[in-house]
Structure 1
Amino acid sequence: MRNGNDHKNYGNKNIISEKSHDQSESNLKDNSSKIINFEKDIKKDIPKNQLISVQKENIISQNFLDNKRNFDSFPGSLVPFKLVKGNEIIPDVQNVVSTVSLGIQLDLKRIALKARNAEYNPRRFAAVIMRIRDPKTTALIFSSGKMVITGAKSEEAAKLGCKKYARIIQRLGYGHVKFLDFRIQNIVASCDVKFPIRLESLAHAHNQFCSYEPELFPGLIYRMITPKVVLLIFVSGKLVLTGAKERKDIYQAFNNIYAVLCLFKKT
Structure 2
Amino acid sequence: MEPSNDVALDIIVTNVVSVFRTRCHLNLRTIGLEGTNVIYKPEVGKVLMKLRKPRITASIWSSGKIICTGATSEEEAKLGARRLARCLQKMGFKVRFSDFKVVNVLAVCSMPFQIRLIEFTKNNRPIASYEPELHPAASYRIKNLRSTVQVFSTGNITVTGPNVQSVASAVEEIYPLLFECRKTLS
Smaller-chain TM-score bracket: over 0.9
Indicate conservation of the 8 Å contact 1:194/1:237, yes or no.
yes
Give the match for residue 264 of structure 1. Answer: 181
2:35 to 94, 107, 115: 115
Indicate conservation of the 8 Å contact 1:90/1:251, yes or no.
no
SS at match of 1:227: coil
Structure-to-structure mapping, 1:1-267, within 5 angstroms = 87-123=7-43, 125-174=44-93, 176-245=94-163, 247-267=164-184
Q: Which has the higher helix share?
A: 1
Once residues 168 and 257 of structure 1 are traced to their aligned partners in structure 2, the CA distance between those partners, rounded to angstroms, is: 42
Once residues 62 and 139 of structure 2 are traced to their aligned partners in structure 1, the CA distance between those partners, rounded to angstroms, is: 35
Q: Unpaired segments of 5 or more residues in structure 2?
A: 1-5
Q: Unpaired segments of 5 or more residues in structure 1?
A: 1-85
- CA deviations 1:88-142 (Å, max 9, x no partner) are 113111111100000011111111111121001223x331000011101000000
Q: Which has the higher strand share?
A: 2
Indicate conservation of the 8 Å contact 2:149/2:160, yes or no.
yes
Measure how far apart 1:87 and its partner are. Answer: 4.0
Measure how far apart 1:212 and its partner are. Answer: 1.2
SS at match of 2:41: coil
How many residues matched?
179
Once residues 151 and 139 of structure 1 are traced to their aligned partners in structure 2, the CA distance between those partners, rounded to angstroms, is: 9
Measure how far apart 1:244 and its partner are. Answer: 2.5
Measure how far apart 1:222 and its partner are. Answer: 0.6
Task: Report the TM-score when normalising by structure 2.
Answer: 0.92
Once residues 88 and 94 of structure 1 are traced to their aligned partners in structure 2, the CA distance between those partners, rounded to angstroms, is: 19
SS at match of 1:120: strand
Task: Report the TM-score when normalising by structure 1.
Answer: 0.65
